[in-house]
Amino acid sequence: MAKKLIYLDHAAATPVDDRVLRAMEPFWQKEFANPSSIYSLGNATRLAVDDARESIAKILGALGSEIIFTSGGTEANNLAILGAACGATPHPHPNPLPQGERGNHRRHILVSAIEHHSVLEPAMALKKEEFDVEILPVSKDGLVDPEQAVKRVRTDTILVSVMLANNEIGTIEPVQEIAKQIAKKRKNGFPIVHTDACQAAGFLPLDVRKLGVDLLTVNGGKIYGPKGVGFLYHRRGVKLDSIIHGGGQEGGVRSGTENVPLIVGMAKSFELAQTEGVKSGKKLSALRDELFKGILEVIPGSFLNGHPVDRLPNNINVCIPGIEGETLVLYLDEAGIACSTGSACTAGSLDPSHVLRAIGLSSSQAKSSLRLTLGRENTSDEVKYFLKSLPGIVKKLRTL
């Protein structure tokens, strides 16, 4: 048994940075007022929210008014997909018209096959409302082909959503090139380009003007910030319909009293992620390569899922034939190692990962895969302990 827990599931959640905790501390008890209040105590919390908004906007190369605070990545993705679709088609036609005869009734949405469920599920909900939802295929490495994406754009396409980096296999998508090519076909502001940057925010620069995106999602819980908070970058001029109605906060797009301590914490964690991400990424890349090389040596026949080069510096997704991934996770947990088979949002599901199936793995291979995601606190000694523990567990599982 390990002397302490070795945590290798940073794609699911990260511990809160001490500097983030210190930034949040005053807003739990001392400065607790509702930021919509007009008295001085409320003004103090409103100023904290405004400062957080401006801090995030500056890093993104955006305007403060283009940042919408949400309860996390899932809500931000839902707002992007549902809000953009309904904003483009305020009065959906009950019977979709043939392509070319739809006039202002835009009904077409493109999403990649490996998106997080918080993008795929709202897209499928729109499909039930007679929207035409098309899935963009990916290569065996998990890449969306920009040319193929652009070829599928139609005159009635509302939105194209391709994540910046995948949460399961770590593949980094050519979002900038996709957005650049789609911009050439844009008419009257459509199609809108959305990217889920929740996993990328800790490692990749997020200049929205360079990326060329109209909507971008970030989740505080993935970047050493608090859980339960996120934001959606919403380019000025892009119409979004609200999906939460009430008091009209966040520029009327997202109602609900702003969670001041979490917003302050997320802004601080986002600042740290974007200023320190490159440095930590270099360290994690070396550790990741040591871990993957070791897995190949101690488990013959195992192989990498995702792109071998264009991937997040902390991500390894490996197929270990002959075992069941979730059972392996439980045995590793007994050895003091925390990891996963994929997205925490689908833990316990009997279905194989849609991401791994999309890159061509069989159902059996997908269920035999393990995701390891490193973080700032991981060490080479922990990697060595993992590599020492893994062969015996795999051998045991293969004999069961």
Catalytic residue among 86, 319, 339, 345: 345
Told to judge if 86 belongs to the known catalytic residues of this protein, a careful annotator would answer no
DSSP annotation of 62 reads: -
The vertex-91 CA angle with 86 and 97, nearest 5°, equals 100
Residue with tokens 């601080």: 268
- CA dihedral defined by 108, 113, 118, 123, rounded to 10 degrees? 20
The answer to whether the bond into 191 is cis (omega within 30° of 0) is: yes
Contact 306, 169 (CB under 8 A): yes
> Are 214 and 235 in contact, with CB atoms under 8 Å apart?
yes
How far is 371 from 139, CA to CA, in rounded Å? 19
User: Which positions ≥6 away from 246 have C-beta within 8 Å?
Assistant: 255, 256
The one-letter amino acid code at 164 reads: L
- As given in the structure block, the two tokens for residue 34 are 């509702």
- Sign of the C-alpha dihedral computed for residues 286, 290, 295 and 301 taken in this order: positive
Strands (E), the chain: 6-7, 67-70, 108-112, 132-136, 157-161, 192-196, 215-219, 230-234, 303-304, 315-319, 337-338, 369-373
Tokens of 267: 């802004």
Catalytic residues: 345
